[in-house]
Amino acid sequence: MSGNKIWSKAATNTSARVETFTVGRDKEFDVLLAEYDVLGSLAHTKMLASVGLLSEEDLEKVQKGLHEILDEIRGGQFGIEPEIEDVHSQVEFLLTQRVGEAGKKIHSGRSRNDQVAVDIKLYLRAQVLAIKEEVKQLFDLLIGLSEQYKDKLLPGYTHLQIAMPSSFGLWFGAYAESLIDDLEVLAAAYQVADKNPLGSGAGYGSSFPLNRTMTTELLHFRTLNYNSVYAQMSRGKTEKIVAMGLATIAATLSRLAMDCCLYINQNFGFISFPPELTTGSSIMPHKKNPDVFELIRAKCNRIQSTPNELTLLINNLPSGYHRDLQLTKEILFPGIEELTGCLQMTRLMLSHIEIKDNILEDAKYKYLFSVEAVNELVNKGISFREAYKEIGNQIDRGEFNFDYRRGLHHTHEGSIGNLCNDHIVAEMEKVLAKYNT
């Protein structure tokens, strides 16, 4: 088996058990990097030719072969053969089969360490942009729902106790604005991922006259990881920072999912969903369970653990490359897929949400308007402390009555009567601009 490795030597005879253990699940996740591995090689070989390490004839052959492999990857026709160790070896093996000796020259000035580093950065950069678009679509839906239901009132809670009047406009808009801050964090992660480590070799550079600025431009990175040691140290750290960005989005989705689980509950009864979007019970025919939101909550809580898991993986590593870093893929990559699915399912569910009418007519919300009554007295010239005491005494005597249907007067920025959704949209546009390089 060891003879099929592109790095093998005649004297090398790695134990099959050792090889199985060290490869682990790497091939499973390496397939996701295949496109980016080829893109890295396309840039690297152009650079090699520019500094005289690859002839124009060999460059033409190599570029043609790499583009063929890229087309196969994008067409779903690529796989890593059982006897091949990783995606880098598979691409180079296929290329050498097709173009001969020229294919063996593409690794000059590279280590698998910086090769996988650039693959991961390119992959994470693309995934961050894709998640940003998913978040933007959910944001647009939430803003639309906020405007659509801005006049529909519901009770607000503190300590899970009935507190003050809110509205669906305020509720939907709150989660829309939360996504802005989430994308702020993800934008910072994008900036970290948008740096080129290629050319750092095994972490100590190369004696070849590499042009790292050229590969940075060819791969459309914003800048380089300049220091070759730090370029290697950015492995794991980049994944952790991206995981932090994902975790902030997951936290918002988890909280929204929890609200929906509460609000669909019969004791709240604020919202409902079509039967085809809920599930039933095996023994209770009346049940409509919010399984989708429960799983969104669970998946997003698990996603929030990924930065900590990555911290524990990389926390005590010295400088330089270590095989521990291989495991970052199996920690982070599934989280990316899960978050994408959760964003899409949240959008599907909210697109079919049904809002109940006249929620506040229920007698249990009678005291929801106690603050409104206090403020009315204050507006008449009574001090707040005296007004608070007066309304409190009315409540204690069972004499409190406030007709909210006369209208609520909430006019300040971000209140029931002044949602400021146009400003929230403008803030989102500012954040989205940070992803443009």
* Domains and their CATH numbers in the chain: 2-108 (1.10.275.10), 113-361+414-435 (1.20.200.10), 363-406 (no CATH)
Q: pLDDT band for position 320 (50/70/90)?
A: confident
Average pLDDT, the chain: 92
| pTM for this model (two decimals) | 0.91
Q: What is the chain's percent helix, strand, coil content, to nearest 5?
A: 65, 5, 30
DSSP, res 384? H
Q: Which tokens sit at 164?
A: 């003050």
E-assigned strand segments in 150-216: 153-158, 161-167, 195-196
For the residues 188-200, what does the mean pLDDT come to?
97
How far apart (Å, rounded) are the C-alpha atoms in residues 266 and 268?
Answer: 5
Q: Which residues contact 340 (CB under 8 A, 6 or more apart)?
A: 130, 131, 134
Percent of the chain scored above 90 by pLDDT? Answer: 78
Percent of all residues in the chain with a pLDDT value above 70, rounded to a whole number: 94
More confident residue, 436 or 421: 421
pLDDT band at residue 2 under the 50/70/90 scheme: very low
pLDDT at 384: 94
Is the confidence at residue 281, as pLDDT, over 70?
Answer: no
pLDDT at 331 over 60: yes
pLDDT digits over 37-61, tens only?
Answer: 999 999 999 999 999 999 999 999 9
Q: For residue 87, which of 21, 40, 46 has the smallest C-alpha distance?
A: 40
The pLDDT of residue 135 is above 90:
yes
The pLDDT score that the predictor gives to residue 301 is 97
